[in-house]
Copies of this chain bind each other. A is one copy, B any other.
Amino acid sequence: MIYTKNAIDAFERRYRANFINSLGGFKSLVLIGTKNSDGSENLATFSSLFHLGADPALCGFILRPATTFSSTLDNIIEQQYYTINHVSPAFVKQAHQCSAKYPKGVSEFEQVGLSPEYLENIPAPFVRESTLKFACKFVQQTAIELNGTTLVIGQITTVLVPETFVKEDGYIDIEEAGTVTSSGLDSYHTTNRIERLPYAKP
């Protein structure tokens, strides 16, 4: 079946959101933890995290137009730090629930039943239940004027992961660690390795 631009434009709004969100393939599913200067904590679901570079270690994610996630960006700018937490099957429902639009000042940790935990000198809460998590220092935000989204870039400063998942060559076996992937707006998946392949040469 071929869906033309005209057909896609004519889709009902929610139908189009489901359809277009599916096209990007499987996505990284993470919870981003922040707090503000009053100590009020925020935890938000993101599926747009991507690798930007290993040296320096950088990653980026996309914030939707203002409103919804404003606590996340406000807190990041205020504290200059945020945490990124992988999601396991055991708390995928709670992770999904963090995508609800809670009023500012309400802690998603409390609302969904996840536990904040802190490391010294990192003013952002990690998710205790998360097996693989890391802290980012804010580096820059870039407005994507096209549709009002914002690209947030951070430098990875501290990584928490059980050593058993870190293989000889530095690869972290995130499947063994139980990391979940998502598709579309609301589908969650575990994975089965096909294989690891050697570095490709012509």
Instruction: List A residues at the B interface (Cβ < 8 Å).
Output: 1-5, 8, 11-30, 47-60, 62, 84, 86, 89, 92-93, 96-103, 106, 111, 119, 132, 134, 139-140, 142, 144, 146-147, 149, 151, 153, 156-163, 166-167, 169-175, 179-181, 183-202
Contact = CB atoms under 8 A, between A and B. Distances in A.
A52 B58 CA distance: 19
Identical copies of this chain, number: 2
Nearest to A161: B1
Given A51-B47, A53-B147, A147-B52, A186 B158 contact: no
Contacts of A86: 25
A135 to B, nearest CB: 9
Given A3-B161, A25-B174, A179-B26, A14 B140 contact: no
A25 B16 contact: no
A2 B190 contact: no
